[in-house]
């Protein structure tokens, strides 16, 4: 075998040909090259130029986009490179609102970190961008365009990993900006609140909406009984905020911190995950018996539910009607436990600590209420809890662990693994196999659905019946799977969907870096907890049994449906905007041609179709008889671009090259 070598800083380095780029070679040597726009899970963009290296001719080249070759000689930290990197940083800082001391990302900002490391203490360039309004329309995310450095990370994450594509570049040159679709507030577009854009943003341009002040107010209100639930994925990530080992279990230190802050009760969301298992698996078994509304999709991920409501109206009846574990916990506490403890519901304040930014949006949904009270009053993320701990002056590393409160502090291992991709499916299998077979399940580990691959498939023969499962994480992967299901290329009985890569462990509210390596350790931490649990099946949780005995009667009963189930409906994808052809404003009776310019259709060229139709109308002199509109949404998104003619004709899949034919066959005959 012939060995190949290149030189890095005058040192001979062997290369195999499998390296993605020079950046990878250099980092494998233990040399750090700064980057803003490079992420191993995204496409190579090469925009920030921070990763430039110098070749033997003195040329500066981007190491992220250059493949290593035998005989190549490069240097990583020459004076020329260092001066160039400092100048790039100065230019970025000049266009970045420098309110670092009050920024949400202060102390955890890549731009700030590199400026310190590179010795940039003065910015010689004047700002060129005028102040832009901060977008606080979302329940989950705050967008501050004044801090955007145009690295494009959020654009690629939203498009490539999540397949949603609500962020993009507009304008050119000095006027370039990253904005939501049609430069609208982020709450008015197709955003699913997953927060993956926040996880990857290197500055404070995209941050988690801070709800800690609401929690502090409740904690300081003597009338309020503050009840906190902690989600499974939080316990294996919170330690990262305090430089502890990734994937280690810090649940009980988190309980101690919350009790020091003044929380009256601290419980485990894994308890209500057990409850979700019983309700969701029972619902699934009923569907299997009836042979209808299969596959059943899980509904515990609010990012996925929002995506389905906006993009998959044809599959909404396939979603489980179960609320998520977060919402089930709030409902059980306010409807049952508060009465048992003789606490007025209005004095009960339920706080969720979640790995997920979409949980903030979910808690505000009108469907998530019981007896006119929202099930959950406030949601904070893992990162926000860490912020509260620091604000309180608590030395997390020195805390003595504290116990969860009872009765909702007890859970099975099945509830704990809800926090990782495949965990919901495995937990449901532990229940369904026993119910279908009528026998005690001794081997509870279903390793076929474990792992952090974007898509996992498995078939289990249960009491003579094959049950087909799919486990998918990341919405781009979900998109692809749904298309195959619609085309009947694949079929399943049960599909677990998590919006974030790797499931809740990779949620948008988790500490950064939120990389694949970190997610592997967090996932392992949850499975380790499950392995040590004395109770591994949700149906064996004695607190769940007691809950049914006292209040809920049986799984999927009327009482259970009232408190623990909900409904979903098709949501308008982009609101508040209508595009009109201004030349038609004075016409009397017109044929109205509505072209969908929602995200799906827009990406397939619907805006070009709209402009082409307007041009053809002018060319044929019928602009006074036809009114063209851009609209959102005509449904059937997968078959776009979609067009509606007045109120009686829908056409789907009209591509730009077919516009003339559509105009001749549909529009002109109606005018004449």
Active-site residue numbers? 280, 283, 300, 320, 359, 362, 367, 504
Residues 65, 52: Cα–Cα separation, whole Å: 10
Q: Which two tokens stand for residue 272?
A: 């209500």
User: Could you say which DSSP state residue 399 is in?
Assistant: P
Strand ranges in 276-377 using DSSP code E only, listed in sequence order: 296-297, 348-354, 369-370, 373-374
H-state helical runs in 578-657: 599-603, 606-619
**Residues comprising the chain, all counted:** 672
Residues 354, 381: Cα–Cα separation, whole Å: 5
User: Could you say which DSSP state residue 171 is in?
Assistant: S
Residue 408 phi, psi dihedral angles, 5° rounding: -95, 25
Residues 51, 36: Cα–Cα separation, whole Å: 8
Residue 206 belongs to what H/E stretch? strand 206-208
What does the angle CA 19 – CA 20 – CA 25 come to, to the nearest 5 degrees?
Answer: 55
Residues 558, 545: Cα–Cα separation, whole Å: 17
169 forms beta bridges with 178
Question: How many other CB atoms are found less than 10 A from the CB of residue 603?
Answer: 15
Residues 184, 45: Cα–Cα separation, whole Å: 25
In order, the DSSP letters of 89-133 are HHHHHHTS---GGG-TTTTS-HHHHHHHHTT-----SPP-SPP--
Residue with tokens 């080992």: 245
Q: What is the 3-state secondary structure (H, E, C) of 235-302?
A: HCCHHHHHCCCCCCCCHHHHHHHHHHHCCCEEEEHHHHHHHHHHHHHHHHHHHHHHCCCCCEECCCCH
Burial class for 264, CB neighbours closer than 10 Å (0-12, 13-18, 19+): middle
Residues 43, 620: Cα–Cα separation, whole Å: 45
CA nearest to 509, candidates 423, 387, 601, 617: 387
Q: Who contacts 670 (Cβ-Cβ below 8 Å, separation ≥6)?
A: 591, 645
């Amino acid at each position: 075998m012939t060995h190949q070598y290149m030189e890095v800083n005058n040192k001979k380095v062997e290369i195999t040909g499998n390296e993605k780029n020079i950046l990878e070679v250099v980092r494998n040597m233990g040399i750090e090259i700064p980057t803003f726009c490079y992420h191993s899970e995204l496409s190579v963009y090469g925009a920030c130029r921070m990763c430039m290296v110098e070749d033997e001719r003195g040329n500066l080249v981007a190491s992220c986009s250059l493949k290593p070759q035998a005989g190549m000689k490069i240097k990583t930290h020459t004076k020329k490179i260092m001066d160039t990197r400092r100048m790039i940083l100065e230019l970025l800082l000049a266009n970045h609102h420098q309110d670092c001391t009050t920024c949400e990302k202060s102390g955890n900002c890549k731009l700030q970190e590199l400026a310190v490391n590179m010795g940039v203490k003065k910015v010689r360039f004047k700002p060129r961008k005028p102040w832009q309004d901060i977008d606080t329309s979302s329940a989950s995310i705050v967008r501050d365009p004044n801090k955007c450095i145009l690295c494009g990370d959020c654009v690629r994450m939203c498009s490539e990993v999540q397949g949603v594509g609500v962020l993009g570049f507009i304008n050119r040159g000095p006027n370039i900006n990253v904005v939501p679709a049609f430069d609208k507030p982020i709450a008015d577009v197709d955003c699913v609140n997953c927060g993956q854009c926040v996880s990857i943003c290197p500055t404070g341009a995209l941050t988690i909406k801070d709800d800690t002040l609401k929690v502090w107010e409740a904690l300081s209100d003597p009338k309020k009984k503050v009840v906190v639930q902690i989600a499974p994925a939080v316990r294996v990530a919170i330690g990262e905020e305090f430089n502890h080992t990734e994937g280690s279990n810090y649940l009980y230190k988190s309980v101690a911190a919350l009790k020091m802050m003044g929380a009256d009760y601290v419980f485990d969301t894994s308890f209500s995950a057990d409850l979700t298992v019983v309700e969701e698996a029972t619902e699934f078994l009923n569907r299997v018996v009836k042979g209808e509304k299969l596959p059943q999709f899980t509904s515990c991920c609010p990012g996925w539910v929002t995506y389905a409501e906006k993009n998959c109206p044809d599959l909404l009846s396939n979603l489980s009607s179960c609320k998520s574990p977060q919402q089930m916990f709030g409902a059980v506490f306010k409807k049952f436990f508060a009465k048992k403890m003789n606490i007025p519901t209005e004095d009960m304040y339920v706080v969720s600590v979640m790995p997920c930014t979409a949980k903030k949006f979910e808690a505000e949904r009108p469907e998530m209420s019981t007896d006119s009270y929202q099930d959950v009053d406030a949601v904070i993320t893992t990162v926000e809890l860490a912020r509260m701990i620091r604000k309180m002056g608590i030395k997390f590393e020195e805390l003595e662990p504290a116990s969860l409160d009872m009765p909702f502090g007890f859970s099975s291992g099945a509830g704990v693994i809800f926090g990782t991709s495949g965990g919901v499916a495995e937990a449901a299998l532990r229940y369904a196999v026993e119910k279908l077979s009528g026998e005690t399940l001794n081997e509870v580990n279903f390793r076929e659905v474990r792992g952090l691959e974007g898509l996992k498939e498995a078939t289990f023969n249960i009491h003579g019946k094959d049950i087909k499962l799919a486990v998918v994480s990341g919405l781009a992967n979900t998109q692809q799977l749904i298309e195959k299901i619609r085309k009947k290329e694949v079929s399943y009985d049960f599909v677990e969907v998590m919006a974030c890569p790797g499931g809740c462990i990779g949620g948008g509210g988790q500490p950064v870096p939120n990389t694949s390596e970190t997610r592997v350790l967090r996932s392992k931490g949850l499975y380790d907890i499950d392995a040590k649990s004395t109770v591994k099946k949700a149906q064996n949780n004695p607190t769940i049994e007691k809950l049914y005995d006292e209040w809920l009667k049986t799984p999927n009963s009327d009482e259970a449906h009232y408190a623990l189930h909900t409904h979903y409906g098709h949501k308008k994808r982009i609101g508040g905007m209508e595009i009109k052809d201004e030349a038609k404003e004075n016409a009397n009776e017109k044929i109205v041609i509505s072209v969908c310019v929602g995200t799906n259709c827009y990406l397939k060229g619907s805006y070009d179709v709209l402009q082409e139709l307007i041009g053809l109308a002018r060319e044929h002199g019928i602009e006074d008889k036809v009114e063209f509109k851009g609209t959102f949404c005509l449904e059937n998104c997968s078959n776009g671009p979609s067009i509606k003619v007045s109120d009686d004709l829908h056409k789907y899949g009209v591509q730009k090259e077919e516009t003339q034919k559509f105009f001749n066959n549909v529009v002109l005959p109606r005018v004449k």
